[in-house]
């Protein structure tokens, strides 16, 4: 099959090959050993947050649910595996009927997390769970990294809207996922039309410097844009001389001009000058939008500037220096036989390198202080203490192979705002620091 025949969809027809080969070789060996059907529990967690970060943000959960539903080995995929001699016929026969039939629990999308938080728990047979490792980590690591950066930026923006505009700085399909994750983290809109089409995120965009350069005069460019899009449009004013462009923009559009965009220079200084000039020209309601390689620190530095909105690209889609959340997917419990009634036994990796994990099927709860502010992330096995029963974080996402927790993207965005507000005030500080909540372990016995 020529992969070009598939075109370039926003979604892929199957997620079955979004995995590493060793998942299939483990499957084949387990099938032959008679251990593939053992009931197993895998958990997604991170051992540490990126250096200096005080909390993480769960994002990509909705995309994980889509990926699990689309994890199907169709004829073309099976042919590829057969021709590459990746697995044998017995394994191919098993894969042909693959449907995840287990359960998935997890932190709801938009929730915050900390080192050791069991962000997602996947339960079922070893065979069906092990195949999902790579695709789940791929989605959660990418989306959570973007959402964490977005959250820091939206906090620094102090209520001013943020526009995601990083599509040209990353892979075309990653750009769609990044726009979605940014929306979860607090961004208001995106410039990426595929993200708007796929997820219903509000889209925005007017013109680039090329449009101004196309015309003989800057005035002609502004006139053409206003005639096309109305007086409420946003005019880009830093192609030539900013002050002259602002004057021309108001002359062309009048005081009803929607906004001007500044994409270069000393943004703090230029924003003040442009605001003063707009007010003097009577365009007191014209907004100022700034772009130009912004990150959370640059946004925070503009807090006192007369800026109405920010456009962020490169730093957002690269996680503002941390493009992955470093999550792992580990087997933490399994049955001693394929008997459905066999009890689960905790298992864990032991290593001198620091890559250790804690065995057992876990729950998680967030303990609050007397003022209702979060004070600890409590992770445990066995019975949940009565005082934490109503503060549990994991929710059921998939039951018996069926998705049971789809929700509107706006709900995840609202959840994140609420979750962040419950954290101590130091959570939103941009200075380097430790996780704002300690992780405490409460194990059986």
For residue 48, pLDDT beyond 90: yes
Nearest by Cα to 325 from 180, 149, 173: 149
pLDDT band for position 9 (cuts 50, 70, 90):
low
Q: What is the pTM of this model?
A: 0.94
Q: Which of the 8 DSSP states describes residue 392?
A: B
pLDDT on residue 353: 64
Q: What whole-number percentage of the chain has pLDDT above 90? A: 91
Nearest by Cα to 109 from 144, 141, 161: 144
pLDDT band for position 117 (cuts 50, 70, 90):
very high
d(CA 363, CA 121): 9
d(CA 373, CA 233): 43
Q: Which residue has the tokens 């003989």?
A: 216
Those residues whose C-beta lies under 8 Å from the C-beta of residue 56, and which sit 6 or more positions away, are 46, 49, 112, 113, 114, 117, 144, 148, 325
d(CA 148, CA 320): 9
d(CA 3, CA 250): 51
d(CA 367, CA 431): 25
In 362-424, which residue ranges form alpha helices assigned H by DSSP?
409-421
> What digits encode the pLDDT tens for the residues 248-303?
999 999 999 999 999 999 999 999 999 999 999 999 999 999 999 999 999 999 99
For residue 8, pLDDT beyond 60: no
> What digits encode the pLDDT tens for the residues 301-353?
999 999 999 999 999 999 999 999 999 999 999 999 999 889 999 998 886 66
> What digits encode the pLDDT tens for the residues 395-421?
999 999 999 999 999 999 999 999 999
d(CA 354, CA 156): 34
What is the CB neighbour count within 10 angstroms for residue 30?
Answer: 18
> What digits encode the pLDDT tens for the residues 348-377?
888 666 677 789 999 999 999 999 999 999
pLDDT on residue 349: 81
């Amino acid at each position: 099959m020529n992969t070009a025949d598939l075109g370039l969809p926003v979604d892929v027809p199957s997620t079955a090959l979004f995995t590493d080969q060793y998942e299939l070789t483990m499957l084949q060996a387990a099938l032959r050993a008679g251990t593939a059907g053992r009931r197993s529990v895998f958990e997604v967690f991170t051992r540490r947050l990126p250096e200096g970060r005080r909390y993480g943000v769960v994002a990509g959960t909705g995309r994980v649910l889509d990926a699990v539903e689309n994890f199907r080995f169709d004829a073309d995929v099976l042919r590829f595996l057969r021709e590459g001699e990746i697995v044998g016929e017995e394994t191919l026969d098993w894969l042909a009927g693959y449907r995840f039939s287990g359960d998935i629990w997890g932190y709801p999308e938009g929730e915050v997390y900390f080192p050791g938080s069991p962000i997602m728990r996947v339960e079922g047979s070893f065979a069906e769970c092990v195949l999902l490792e790579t695709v789940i980590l791929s989605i959660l690591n990418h989306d959570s990294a973007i959402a964490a950066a977005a959250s820091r930026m939206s906090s620094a923006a102090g209520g001013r809207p943020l526009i995601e505009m990083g599509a040209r700085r990353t892979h075309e399909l990653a750009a769609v996922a990044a726009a979605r994750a940014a929306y979860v983290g607090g961004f208001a809109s995106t410039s990426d039309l595929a993200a708007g089409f796929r997820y219903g995120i509000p889209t925005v965009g007017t013109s680039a410097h090329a449009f101004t350069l196309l015309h003989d005069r800057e005035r002609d460019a502004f006139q053409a844009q206003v005639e096309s899009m109305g007086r409420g449009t946003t005019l880009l004013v830093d192609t030539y001389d900013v002050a002259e462009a602002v004057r021309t923009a108001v002359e062309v559009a009048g005081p009803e001009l929607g906004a001007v965009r500044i994409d270069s220079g000393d943004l703090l200084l230029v924003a003040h000058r442009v605001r003063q000039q707009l007010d003097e020209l009577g365009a007191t309601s014209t907004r100022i939008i700034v772009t130009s390689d912004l990150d959370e620190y640059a946004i925070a530095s503009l807090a006192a500037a007369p800026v109405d909105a920010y456009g962020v690209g490169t730093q957002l889609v690269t996680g503002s220096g941390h493009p992955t959340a470093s999550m792992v997917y580990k087997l933490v419990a399994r049955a001693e036989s394929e008997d459905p009634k066999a009890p689960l036994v905790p298992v864990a990796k032991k290593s001198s390198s620091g890559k250790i994990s804690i065995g057992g099927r876990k729950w998680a709860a967030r303990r609050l202080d007397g003022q209702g502010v979060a004070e600890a992330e409590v992770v445990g096995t066995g019975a949940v203490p009565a005082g934490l029963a109503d503060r549990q974080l994991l929710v059921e996402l998939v039951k018996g192979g069926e998705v049971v927790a789809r929700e509107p993207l706006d709900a995840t965005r609202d959840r994140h705002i609420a979750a962040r507000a419950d954290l101590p005030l130091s959570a939103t500080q941009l200075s380097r620091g430790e996780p704002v909540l300690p992780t405490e372990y409460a194990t059986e016995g």
